Structure 1
Amino acid sequence: MDDYNRIYHYTSADGLCGILSTGTLYFTDSLFLNDRSERKNFYLILKEYLQKAPLEKNWIKEVERRYFGENNSIFYKLINTNPSDKRAMRYFVLSCSKDRDSLPMWNYYTRSIHAAGYNLHFHTRELIRQMREHPIVEKLTAGRGSVMCRGVVYDERRKLTALDQIMRQAQAKWSKLPSQIEREVLLSKLDRAFETMSLFYKDSAFAHEREVRLVICAENERVHALPECCYQFRKVRGIQVPCLVIDVLEKGRAIAGVTAGPALDKEMAVNGVEYMLHYYGFPQTCKVSSVPLRY
């Protein structure tokens, strides 16, 4: 886990009310996030890297075949998903930011006269502790599953450096393994490493978001075994988006406060949120954004 003492979840007025009143958070399937290049960004970088990497030819061919070969490659499966594949890994994301008061983030919630944004301040370690100890999350992450919290990487040089390091390490091990079975075990581990990296690589155009992601990883079979209240579909711009619904918020422990966006009336916004925080048992801490908003 990256060391972020507090992270900030930007949301709408309805979203704020929903989180505080029910204590639940929505984790969105990574294949349905706003950026259409999600997950694919990493593999496109990998493809370009393989064309130039000064590595053994046999190793390059093996990786190219596995990830970009026809019909059954890893990249093909990422684009052509199979909802009935029980062994497929699913990744559900809660998007937060390192910034408590970010104009680009507020702009997502100030596009009409009725739109207004808030963000919740999370105690990062406390939130993760509650997630990991939640009985639903424990069931989901048994076996190959996990809970992760990391900052998103936008810088192209950092992406390539990390990729080059793991490729060189894997090649060194692969070349020493005598049997195809042992090599396949190594490649399966590489698959998982690449899947994880793909969750935290994002196009540099989104660098202003300074995103931190909390991710729940689980096998598809375990997701489908959940009760309906925990695995739902939310309608987002007409699209049915799969989500995990997890009630992880012990009153007053994970949430440290709220910031109201710059488009709101300062006095009324603070009073309204503080009444809400008090009623639902959270700390009475609300501030208003200090960002100057221009229309």
Structure 2
Amino acid sequence: MNTKGILREQLPVAYRTASDHSKAGQKATTRGVATQLIFLLVGAILGAIDAETSSGLHVGALSSAVALIFALLASGWLALRNPQRSWYLGRAAAESIKSLAWKYGVRAVPFTDSDQAGNRLESDIVRIKSEIAEIPWKHEDKPITEAMSALRDSDLRTRRTAYIGGRLVLEQQWYSEKAETYTRKVRRWALIGIAATGLGLVMGFLKAFGVLTYDGLGAASAIAAAVTAWIQLKQFRPLTAAYLMTARELSDIIARLREPMDEATWAIESAKAEEAISKEHTMWIARHPV
């Protein structure tokens, strides 16, 4: 038995379908919002240019208007396509199916009954598919893979080793690394916002005293606003706090599951571990309404 647990390609096809759907939605959302913000910034920067053609056409105003048209198109695309919905629902479905697969594989509650566990897993996955029908689900004869069956048929020691190393430790590392990454990104973007605000103030004073003719105050304010909007979209601050809390909780769970226990206790404790992981996913979806 592979003590690394159930690998991504060994999970049900439904998991990979939902995960890929979510990643596509995330990529589309990020690109759409970035495009919108970039054209808004370009519009603000060009709009401050005080230049006219010989015929009296204001070059800055015209350029700004064109940029805003593209920003409006990006905004309309986001509103009509709503890729955020695919992102959030796809992740919710993928994580739910992944949790079910692991519960089945390690014989966690409620998959302790050898006769009914397979049927229950299939019915739970069918329910998820019906609830999130907009995902283009691929056909699969049975969601129970060979790796899941092999893990389930192994002894408690093997299942525990696979679950702790192949599931909980990896999750704990992922949350810790993400928290560190988001902390750095919050600082970086905050510095950019402060720098833009400071630059706007300097340019505003210079224009006020006639040193500059370019009105950069509005452009700098737009940059600062765009930075704030980007941080809000990515949810860096709340996710950092949530991920740190989840990482600490998983560390405690790992220590508890390494203690000696019988089959019945294992079934309960491993189910509690999945509840802890699912709780973070539930909170993530709550912070990202669709």
Whose relative contact order is higher, 1 or 2, with alpha carbons under 8 Å and at least 6 apart?
1
TM-score (norm 1): 0.27
Structure of larger gyration radius = 2
> Which structure features the higher share of strand residues?
1
